[in-house]
Amino acid sequence: MKRVEAIIRKSKFNVVQDALHDAGIDFLTYWEVRGQGKAVEERSYHGMLYDTSIIERILISFYCQDQFVDPAIKALLASAKTGEIGDGKVFVSDVEKAVKIRTSEEGAPALN
Amino acid sequence: MKRVEAIIRKSKFNVVQDALHDAGIDFLTYWEVRGQGKAVEERSYHGMLYDTSIIERILISFYCQDQFVDPAIKALLASAKTGEIGDGKVFVSDVEKAVKIRTSEEGAPALN
Amino acid sequence: MKRVEAIIRKSKFNVVQDALHDAGIDFLTYWEVRGQGKAVEERSYHGMLYDTSIIERILISFYCQDQFVDPAIKALLASAKTGEIGDGKVFVSDVEKAVKIRTSEEGAPALN
Amino acid sequence: MEELSTNVNDLAASFDSLWVLIAACLVMFMQAGFALVEVGFTRAKNGANILMKNLMDYAVGSLVFWFIGYSLMFGEDVSGFIGKATLFFGDDTMDGLPPYTTLMFQTVFAATAATIVSGAMAERTKFQAYFIYSIVLTLIIYPVSGHWTWGGGWLSELGFIDFAGSTVVHSVGGWAALVGAAMVGPRLGKYVNGKPKAIPGHSLVLGTLGVFILWLGWFGFNPGSQLAAAGTDNAIAVAHIFITTNLAAAAGAVASMTVSWFRYKKPSLSVTLNGALAGLVGITAGCAAVSPGSAVLIGIICGIALVFSLEFFEKVVKIDDPVGAISVHGICGALGTLLVGVFATEGGLINGGGFAQLGIQAIGVLSTAAWVIVTCFIMFKIIQLTIGLRESDRVQEEGLDIYEHGETIYNNM
Amino acid sequence: MEELSTNVNDLAASFDSLWVLIAACLVMFMQAGFALVEVGFTRAKNGANILMKNLMDYAVGSLVFWFIGYSLMFGEDVSGFIGKATLFFGDDTMDGLPPYTTLMFQTVFAATAATIVSGAMAERTKFQAYFIYSIVLTLIIYPVSGHWTWGGGWLSELGFIDFAGSTVVHSVGGWAALVGAAMVGPRLGKYVNGKPKAIPGHSLVLGTLGVFILWLGWFGFNPGSQLAAAGTDNAIAVAHIFITTNLAAAAGAVASMTVSWFRYKKPSLSVTLNGALAGLVGITAGCAAVSPGSAVLIGIICGIALVFSLEFFEKVVKIDDPVGAISVHGICGALGTLLVGVFATEGGLINGGGFAQLGIQAIGVLSTAAWVIVTCFIMFKIIQLTIGLRESDRVQEEGLDIYEHGETIYNNM
Amino acid sequence: MEELSTNVNDLAASFDSLWVLIAACLVMFMQAGFALVEVGFTRAKNGANILMKNLMDYAVGSLVFWFIGYSLMFGEDVSGFIGKATLFFGDDTMDGLPPYTTLMFQTVFAATAATIVSGAMAERTKFQAYFIYSIVLTLIIYPVSGHWTWGGGWLSELGFIDFAGSTVVHSVGGWAALVGAAMVGPRLGKYVNGKPKAIPGHSLVLGTLGVFILWLGWFGFNPGSQLAAAGTDNAIAVAHIFITTNLAAAAGAVASMTVSWFRYKKPSLSVTLNGALAGLVGITAGCAAVSPGSAVLIGIICGIALVFSLEFFEKVVKIDDPVGAISVHGICGALGTLLVGVFATEGGLINGGGFAQLGIQAIGVLSTAAWVIVTCFIMFKIIQLTIGLRESDRVQEEGLDIYEHGETIYNNM
Ligand SMILES: Nc1ncnc2c1ncn2[C@@H]1O[C@H](COP(=O)(O)OP(=O)(O)O)[C@@H](O)[C@H]1O
Ligand SMILES: Nc1ncnc2c1ncn2[C@@H]1O[C@H](COP(=O)(O)OP(=O)(O)O)[C@@H](O)[C@H]1O
Ligand SMILES: Nc1ncnc2c1ncn2[C@@H]1O[C@H](COP(=O)(O)OP(=O)(O)O)[C@@H](O)[C@H]1O
């Protein structure tokens, strides 16, 4: 069982969601994060310009069985990419256990 | 040392917190997330109905020693459950190291 | 490849960011969380005092190669510490895979 | 010559009329103030519900008061108790003030009384129940007790002084709030093992803006109740009322802040805001009858009383009142009305008038309270037994907005 | 004696002037109301853009209308079509109302017409394009059709009744919004495979405050259009207009709420808010000409029509109008103007006046619509072909605020 | 006949009085505008603190100005420098305006001067220190320099023109802000190695609403300062002032936007908002004395000056002024006062009046600045040495709200 974390552009959220759905990922959790990466944005306030390397991103987190990871990454790469700096990253790590609160089921059936 | 991540209903947060406390989990971190699962909610805007599979949840994350995991999951299952679709999930994964910033302590003493 | 999660005081964010930069961590993601720990804050509302053990923190999450972990923790401990209750924790866990969305690169080059 | 003098009289009358209408604008704007205070002092998940209630009590109140309520209040007196009913108001003439001017001004007053309740019953009351309540209050409850004092009824005969409505408007709203809040019960999670928990409002900045708007609106509420502006006497009276109103509000805010500072160790914004309102409610009865110095004292007394009243209802009586409406409008409204008997320049206790006026004030306060509490109890009981008053725990937990209105006020994605 | 009588006349005239200026203040405040409604009903990422547009159309409109627009509207009539142009307005004398009083009042009306469009074109229109639009509208488009009805042009000759501007102001804004929103196209993501998706506004609490402010402002808009307050007749008329305005708004809100309740199973706040506005826009033409009872009916009709109009544009015509400006101002403005022909106490269909007035109303509505639609089409086409009208997808995705203004409205860290 | 003529005079006087009171309402509402601008342009963690300051300076100011401040400003002149003190104001008669009308109007002016400072000293000043400051300013500093110009003191003798208070009110607030902000030092993190960092305000939508409210309030501030409305002359004057006020604000907004567009490549909302205020502050002195065309020029000059002044204080002088109060009220207030000497229709430089008036204006600007800067320096020094002026770093980091008030403005859970 794996945990996949993808940090993507806020504006790409909807397409990514659809792409993941097609790759078999129906369950996910996400929240807004800010990130520091290569992309910078220029803003001004009261006439004062400031470069911010702090940009708004969405972090999508989902847990899935091992065989779904590769299609999901593929879907993510295809849908979240603009080719410009700031597209984000995907990280995969191992998970030991999953429990579904409603039914107390564990393992694979807990994932959906 | 384990990391437990529980995605629960926002409205259950207070009871879950109390239940975890009774299970020996006094330290935790949480934030608001949105989730896509089986539960859908109907909303309208300007007279336009829309189904949203995007619902508000809270993600509770805590790090604890291995022996606390099972009681904590039990407490979670008991307190966060409504039996209706949308109750959420619990995930457990392994953690290598913990450090307490205030004291630079590592390992078990760093957890509380 | 490791994932480092640090829960710190909101007010320390800027110094921590600079310290991490000096320790070679240029890429990170963060978001606001609330935490329950030893620190409590007294608030009042409508003349009613209430103790809250729920305080605002920032969770910084970054993925890096193994050799960066120790310098990063050192930097974190030095910069985020006030010595008072509520300074927060650092957790390290293992990551299997990283992919950079823009270039589809994997492994170490995906991290920055 | 005669023509010219008619001209002058007409001009004066039209001037009076316009002032009352402008004052009505200010009072109407108080609806926005109430909406902001109430939404700001409650949680975001019930925001659409509370805004809808505020919008609807004004809309429905306007219709219902025009339809029949006004006539029950100001129609020909029927045995001192109620006015004679006339459907769809009356005619479009002018004698003194144009009737529509009076209707407009009285409509916004009726709506003020109605809207007070939504805050006290916030976050747990069914929308339908509130909807019906607001019709009944504006249609019958408010007009009847209003008739007693302002419509030529028995209290006015007695010499009861309530210039702009500390009792007629505010404490009517306050007592209705008391009954409603008591009957609907506290919000889920407000009392844990009998101990009250603080449920902070989601935006004090909205609450503060609301209080500023209310303070502004009160310059229509009180000075507008002079119902005239032309000529020396009216000019002096209106100016006087502006000053007493403003000073009492200022004194109320400072007093509440000071008490909160001593009692809770820190000067609390939420308490201070309510303190300003307490001063305003308190001065409403006596704004024309007391001196500026007495206005400051009334403000201070109400500002202090407010803090203890809030605690009393929260901790002792255990009625959950999210915005403090019972204390602000009910208690300070009653207190302010009584204090007229103490401070009135003519007939007040401290000005050598003895206890006579104070006694009359007490009769007015108590009889109005009794009327409102009894009728509201019956009304809410009927609602409770039919369509129900209280939202289920589930709805309270997830927020009334989604279940009642299918909408949330903040949508960030 | 003569002197005294002059005094009285002067006094009356100065009284009229002051009332019009106070009314102008209320109407000016509607700019804040529009800004809040528009920013509340759209997404936060485009908030600075929409606030800027609202600020700028008022600022630029004020300058441009003073510079030349006013004279095109109210200058000496040139063959019924347009007023004679004078640069930088005129003089500082007094005869009837002081000219600057009229200028002030008319400026805030012109700005109201202009600001309606920003909501309909929100979240996807280039700031520069909007900037130019607002200049052209206030400089030429609005003054010309305004001249026809209010400036002594051919429609006023015909007997067209539009007391306070359902057509002259609101539907001018509404038709401009229609053309603009159609030409700029729907927001990215609004239609997926031809099916509309809801894009909820980011803060209904701001939207609600905006509606309360607009409702308040309308008490300047309609009664202020009496342009006088002195004397019995004016007093009665102004009071009458207050009542018709308030009742229509209340009825509109209740009607829209009821329809939404039946149609969407839940009473919707966002719909109810627009319902109040629909009632207000609808009564604007006839506020002085219809009875309070008829005002309620007009409010109900507009409140009902609104809900279906919103759906019609969204689902059938597929014009994306984030705040519903086309329906509220265009459709209800036209409807309200027509209904004067039905409900007018003198000459209305149901009051035995036959179809004559109704026909004239239709001519007024249609000719104004035609003028605005044609000129706006030309204007937006030119803008489109030169500097461009629509923001790129990328800018829409990430928000106009960052790209157009380098600023975001909420900054939490 | 005589009676009738008395009637007419009384009527006119009561009409004047009412206008001044309505204007006072508009000016009072500016308190809400200031509160919103200041809380919107600063960070959420200090929101309760800044709202509390805004509420308190109005509340305390009202009490203190009534208590003694008013008499120091308008009491019998004592050697041109100060008015004779009377406790608890005076009597309740009428001769010209009712005294309480004047008190009300002057109170809201005094509170305006006081409230300007809270924005400049925001996010790092102790609440107690601010509380004391606001008492001293309204009690002594403002009344004295106000006496010089408006109370019959030496500047008025000299012929100094400051119709509605560019100098008397705004730049008094501005200079106090300058001294206060300089002495309390920049916010923690504002200057890193001497380089200023932008600290964006947490809600530009609140800031924008605040500016609209201020713009509205200025229609009380400037035209209300005519202190009369009855008769032809007053009607013309009031209308004139409405127009100059509105045009200057519009021009200021457009000018600032344009400069920001060129200078920062994007039209900035935060700058434009301040530009509108700059125009308003700038026209305040000359609103009655200059033509509408000159008002536009004054607006443009102030709008341009504002942008450079903001940069100057931020980057060169390195005084941290979170809302730009020093530039808006201090600099543009002084500039607007001087420009009266240039543009006044009678006596202005460009109207052939030579340098005489300009010289007098400069004396007024400088002497008032000197008075305020010296007295404020002494006051803040004493505060600094006793209870302290500046919050500790820890409190600034975590927010003043928790430490000073135990409350936060946003509570989302
Ligand atoms: N090593 C990392 N650890 C945590 N977050 C990261 C890491 N690298 C990138 N991110 C996140 O991804 C976002 C995009 O990164 P950036 O380097 O700008 O993109 P790109 O790789 O497309 O150039 C960053 O804002 C940050 O939130
Ligand atoms: N595999 C998963 N990965 C990440 N989040 C998940 C996953 N499954 C469920 N969730 C989260 O849990 C929430 C509840 O899931 P849902 O399927 O509606 O509950 P239930 O299992 O009780 O029917 C979802 O909204 C989502 O946030
Ligand atoms: N075991 C844990 N799991 C998750 N979060 C934790 C844990 N321990 C501490 N935290 C987070 O760190 C924050 C600070 O912890 P606290 O115990 O107050 O600090 P300190 O160790 O400096 O006394 C908490 O508010 C919480 O968010």
pLDDT in tens, E305-336: 999 999 999 999 999 999 999 999 999 999 99
Contact D8 F10 (CB under 8 A): no
Distance from F65 to chain D by nearest Cα, in Å?
10
Q: Quick check: C92 contacting B, CB < 8 Å?
A: yes
Q: Quick check: A57 contacting C, CB < 8 Å?
A: yes
Minimal Cβ distance to A45: which of F263, F270, F307: F270
**Minimum-distance ligand to the CA of C39?**
3
Mean pLDDT lowest among A59-63, D32-36, D293-297, E279-283 = A59-63
Q: Quick check: A50 contacting C, CB < 8 Å?
A: no
Q: Which of B10, B1, B3, B2 is nearest to B61 (CA)?
A: B3
Position B83 confidence tier, pLDDT thresholds 50, 70, 90: confident
Position E42 confidence tier, pLDDT thresholds 50, 70, 90: very high
Mean residue pLDDT across chain B:
83
For B28, the domain range is 2-111
Helix, strand, coil shares of chain E as percentages rounded to 5? Answer: 75, 5, 25
pLDDT in tens, E232-287: 999 999 999 999 999 999 999 999 999 999 998 899 999 999 999 999 999 999 99
Distance from D187 to chain C by nearest Cα, in Å?
16
Is F318 or D95 the better-scoring residue by pLDDT? F318
What is the maximal distance between C-alpha atoms in chain B?
A: 57
Percentage above 70 pLDDT, chain E: 98
Contact A90 C101 (CB under 8 A): yes
* Ordered per-residue pLDDT tens for chain F, 413 residues: 667 777 888 899 999 999 999 999 999 999 999 999 999 999 999 999 999 999 999 999 999 999 999 999 998 888 888 999 888 887 766 668 899 999 999 999 999 999 999 999 999 999 999 999 999 999 999 999 999 999 999 999 999 999 999 999 999 999 999 999 999 999 998 998 888 988 999 999 999 999 999 999 999 999 999 999 999 999 999 999 999 999 999 999 999 999 999 998 899 999 999 999 999 999 999 999 999 999 999 999 999 999 999 999 999 999 999 999 999 999 999 999 999 999 999 888 888 888 889 999 999 999 999 999 999 999 999 999 999 999 998 889 888 998 899 898 998 65
Mean pLDDT lowest among D362-371, E293-302, F339-348 = F339-348
Q: Quick check: D406 contacting B, CB < 8 Å?
A: yes
Q: Which numbered atom of ligand 2 lies nearest the CA of A102?
A: 22
pLDDT in tens, D301-336: 999 999 999 999 999 999 999 999 999 999 999 999
Ligand 1, atom 5: nearest CA belongs to which residue?
Answer: C28
Rounded to an integer, the average pLDDT of A19-47 is 78
Ligand 3, atom 18: nearest CA belongs to which residue?
Answer: C86
pLDDT (0 to 100) of residue F176: 97
Contacts of E43 in chain A (CB under 8 A): none
Residue B112 has pLDDT above 80, yes or no: no
Distance from C93 to chain F by nearest Cα, in Å?
30
pLDDT (0 to 100) of residue E413: 52
Contact C47 D196 (CB under 8 A): no
CATH of the domain at A35: 3.30.70.120
The CA distance from D63 to D111, in Å, is 10
Q: Quick check: B74 contacting A, CB < 8 Å?
A: no
pLDDT (0 to 100) of residue D374: 97
Query: Rounded to the nearest 5°, which phi and psi values hold at B24?
Result: 95, 5
Distance from C107 to chain A by nearest Cα, in Å?
10
Query: Rounded to the nearest 5°, which phi and psi values hold at F411?
Result: -135, 100
pLDDT (0 to 100) of residue D96: 82
pLDDT (0 to 100) of residue A9: 87
The CA distance from C70 to D177, in Å, is 61
Q: Which numbered atom of ligand 2 lies nearest the CA of B53?
A: 25
Position D394 confidence tier, pLDDT thresholds 50, 70, 90: confident
Collapsed DSSP state (helix, strand, coil) of residue E211? helix
Q: Give the predicted TM-score (pTM) of the model.
A: 0.94
Contact A43 E397 (CB under 8 A): no
Contacts of B73 in chain A (CB under 8 A): 99
Q: Quick check: A45 contacting E, CB < 8 Å?
A: yes
The CA distance from D12 to D96, in Å, is 10
Contact F35 D292 (CB under 8 A): no
Minimal Cβ distance to F21: which of D239, D266, D270: D239
pLDDT (0 to 100) of residue E114: 93
Query: Are D250 and F56 contacting, i.e. CB atoms less than 8 angstroms apart?
Result: no
Chains that touch E (3 or more CB pairs under 8 A): A, B, D, F
Distance from A49 to chain F by nearest Cα, in Å?
7
Position B38 confidence tier, pLDDT thresholds 50, 70, 90: low
Ligand 3 mean position, distance from CA C59 (Å):
11
Contacts of B7 in chain A (CB under 8 A): 29
pLDDT in tens, D32-65: 999 999 999 999 999 999 999 999 999 999 999 9
Residue A84 has pLDDT above 60, yes or no: yes
**Minimum-distance ligand to the CA of C60?**
1
Residues whose beta carbon lies within 6 Å of some atom of ligand 1: A 7, 35-39, 55, 57, 85-89; C 27-29, 61-63, 100-102, 111
Contact F107 D246 (CB under 8 A): yes
Residues whose beta carbon lies within 6 Å of some atom of ligand 2: A 27-29, 61-63, 100-102, 111; B 7, 35-39, 55, 57, 85-89
Is A48 or A101 the better-scoring residue by pLDDT? A101
pLDDT (0 to 100) of residue C15: 87
Best substitution site from B2, B5, B21, B29 to test ligand 3's pocket, by max atoms within 8 Å of Cβ?
A: B29
Contact F407 C44 (CB under 8 A): yes
The CA distance from B100 to A78, in Å, is 40
What is the maximal distance between C-alpha atoms in chain D?
A: 79
Residue A53 has pLDDT above 80, yes or no: no
Minimal Cβ distance to E406: which of A12, A14, A42: A42
Contacts of D36 in chain E (CB under 8 A): 205, 209
Rounded to an integer, the average pLDDT of C93-97 is 87
pLDDT (0 to 100) of residue F348: 84
pLDDT (0 to 100) of residue C111: 78
Position A1 confidence tier, pLDDT thresholds 50, 70, 90: confident
Strand pairing partners for B28? C36
Contact A101 B76 (CB under 8 A): yes
Contact B47 E270 (CB under 8 A): yes
Q: How many domains does chain C have?
A: 1
Q: Quick check: A14 contacting B, CB < 8 Å?
A: no
**Minimum-distance ligand to the CA of A108?**
2
Rounded to an integer, the average pLDDT of B40-56 is 62
Position B27 confidence tier, pLDDT thresholds 50, 70, 90: confident
Query: Are E55 and F253 contacting, i.e. CB atoms less than 8 angstroms apart?
Result: yes
**Which of B17, B40, B43, B51 to mutate to probe the D interface, most D CBs <10 Å?**
B43
Q: Which numbered atom of ligand 2 lies nearest the CA of B89?
A: 12
Query: Are B62 and B29 contacting, i.e. CB atoms less than 8 angstroms apart?
Result: yes
Percentage above 70 pLDDT, chain D: 98
For the ranges B50-64, D70-84, F177-191, the maximum mean pLDDT occurs at F177-191
pLDDT in tens, E79-123: 889 999 888 887 766 678 899 999 999 999 999 999 999 999 999
Count CB pairs under 8 A between chains D and E: 180
Measure the CA dihedral D236/D238/D241/D245, to 10°: -140
pLDDT (0 to 100) of residue A42: 64
Residue B105 has pLDDT above 90, yes or no: no
Ligand 2 mean position, distance from CA B36 (Å):
6
Q: Quick check: A31 contacting F, CB < 8 Å?
A: no
